[in-house]
Chain A
Amino acid sequence: MHKCLRCGKDFEKMNEGMFGGCPECGSKLFLYVREGEEEHATELVRRLEKKTETAGKLPLEGAALEGVEPLEEAGGGGELSSEGDKIESLKIVSPGVYELNLDTLLGRRGIIMRLKEDGSYAIHLPSLFEKKEKARRNRHTP
């Protein structure tokens, strides 16, 4: 049985409709659960949720990887949004402190950096163009 890690819906078997994500909530994270281990799976989901919550409030001062400057000096803090709401793949918490959203990065969605809590983002265009270029090349390759 496959259990959606976001909405908790159970699926007896993987089907084609699930390749794009959970039909209920769109999440791409599933947990494989063997018969009789449902309780164990529920405990795992609970622990993962708890870990996400305890990521906590984080200050943001604004810094950047080489070649990308912060939009302006940042300040303040804020609650981390839930995984589903995040569009950024990388968050620069302060100089030398980075948070990575592996789900977004692994999903080949290009690199979007969050610089401030008030909604300032930096978009790494080459990573987005690279994706389109690859798709174009694949179309032309026999």
Chain B
Amino acid sequence: MVRRRRTSGILAWLLEALFFKKRSVKIGIYGPPNAGKTTLTNRIIHTFADEEEDVGTASEIPHETRRAVRRGGILIDLKQNLKQFQRTNFNSNPQPLSDPTRNGDPTRNGDPSTNPSTKSGRKGRAKLKLDVVDTPGLATKIDFHDFLAYGLREEEAKQRAKEATEGVIEAIKWLDDIDGVILLMDATQDPYTQTNVVIIGNMEARGIPVVIAANKIDLSSAAPQKIKKAFPQHFVIPISALTGENMPEFYAAMVRRFR
């Protein structure tokens, strides 16, 4: 049985090598509740796969997503999608669009010489085939009382708390099968939380590449520079998943980091 598995592994590798078929990378979208994970996942799908398709419903009630949802077959082609960015990403706030495939990444914290595209000069390869996994929000405490304020009945709130707890465990299990992580943080909140620090520490220990998205920059209280300062060793891209602000830069960072 072991031999058969080994043979099939070699065969798959040979087929892949012969036909240059590049596998999809699995990208998990992680973060605390209400950071905007489902909004971001929907936006990625609308931009690169299907404008009508949603993986989940975004809601102001925390822990709306309680099961991980995977959407496969997404191809990010930065050059092909330039026009699409303009059409879908700046509906509410039109801005001139720069070419996200050009060298140099002003959003990267730290030494710019570590930018892989600058180093290799492979600016033409601006494609990334990926599956995205929208995950339930990670939290250290889930209390049904928090849901009562949103009009849920006690039984509903308790059920939601139970499902949210199971969701956290499911989200963490997915990490074993993930090639890269988009860590979404709410730029209007303090980034120095136990959840953020623990996730980043664990990603570093596992060697999983991370892109941090500082979301909700459309809000006046957003302070993405605080997130940049808190995690200087990582890519931190300020975005608004809701309005589409700065999304081309975010997609460019994804391609560079996860390719």
Contacts and interface: CB of A to CB of B under 8 A. Distances in A.
Nearest to A34: B232
Interface stretch (B41-49, B73-81, B118-126, B140-148): B140-148
A97 B161 contact: yes
B142 A98 contact: yes
A101 B198 CA distance: 10
Contacts, number: 95
B81 to A, nearest CB: 33
Given A29-B198, A99-B140, A141 B9 contact: yes
A107 B140 contact: no
B212 interface: no
Contacts of A55: 141
B205 A142 contact: no
At the interface, is chain B mostly helix, strand, loop or mixed? helix
Interface of B: 2, 5-6, 9-10, 138-145, 154, 157-158, 161-162, 165-166, 168-169, 172, 175-176, 192-195, 197-199, 201-202, 204-205, 229-233
7 contacts: A32-B232, A96-B143, A96-B145, A96-B161, A102-B172, A102-B195, A106-B199
A13 interface: no
B198 A99 contact: no
A9 interface: no
A100 B198 contact: no
Interface of A: 5, 19, 28-32, 34, 40, 44, 47-48, 51-52, 55, 65-66, 90, 95-103, 105-108, 111, 134, 140-142
B169 A111 contact: yes
B162 A66 contact: yes
A22 B142 CA distance: 30
A107 B202 contact: yes
- 6 closest A-B pairs by beta carbon, nearest first, are A96-B144, A96-B158, A106-B202, A98-B165, A96-B161, A32-B233
A38 to B, nearest CB: 14
Given A90-B169, A96-B143, 9 more contacts: A30-B204, A55-B141, A65-B162, A90-B165, A96-B144, A98-B162, A98-B165, A100-B140, A134-B176
